[in-house]
Amino acid sequence: MAVVYYSKTGNTKKVAELIAQGANLIETIEVKCMSIEEVDNEFLTEAKTVIFGSPTISGTFSWQIKQWLDTMRTVKFGGKLGAVFATANYVGGGAEVAELAMIGELLVKGMLVYSSGVADGQPFIHYGPVCIQDGDEGQKERARIFGERIAKKTVELFN
C-alpha cells in the first residue's frame, strides 16, 4: 500500500504520514509514503492500494499531481484500490473539490475508488480526510482512521 503526495510546505507530507500510521495498525499491510518527486516505481507497481494527497491550490489539486498522473507511464493503476486526501489553508478553500477532482483522475486510470463515507459510522469521511494546514486533533485522528479503514478494505478485497 502506497501513500503518494505532493507537498509544498510540509503539511501534506505530515498528513500522509498520519495515514500511513493508521494503515500500519493492520498487521498484514506494508505501507510506504512517497513524494511524487521521489517515487519508488517498483513498490508502486506491486502495491494493491494507492492513496493520493495534494495541497489545495486555487481551489483544486496542484498541477504537479496532474502532470505526474498524466505523464507517468511506468506504473499501471488499473484494478488497484484508490483513495485521496487533501490539505488546505482554510475552511472553504476547496479541499473537497480537490479531492473529487483527484477521484476523477483515479477513475480514468481504472482504479476502484473508496473513501468509507458514512458506512463505517463516525467519523464520516465523505471523499477523503481534509486537514486545515497540518490539521487540528480531530482532523489528524480522522486521517489516521482513514488509513486504517483503507488498509482493512485492502485486506478484504485482495487477500
- Assess 139 for contact with a second copy (CB under 8 A): yes
> Least distance from C-beta 158 to a second copy, angstroms?
10
Stretch near a second copy under the rule CB under 8 A, chosen from 16-24, 36-44, 47-55, 117-125: 117-125
Q: Which of 17, 96, 134, 141 binds a second copy (CB under 8 A)?
A: 96
Binding mask 40-59 for a second copy (x = CB under 8 A): -----------------xxx
Tell me the C-alpha distance between 82 and 69, whole Å: 13
Among residues 30, 40, 42, 70, the one that binds a second copy under rule CB under 8 A: 70
Binding site for a second copy (CB under 8 A): 57-60, 62-63, 66-67, 69-70, 76-79, 81, 90-97, 100-101, 103-105, 107-120, 123-130, 132, 138-139, 142, 153, 157
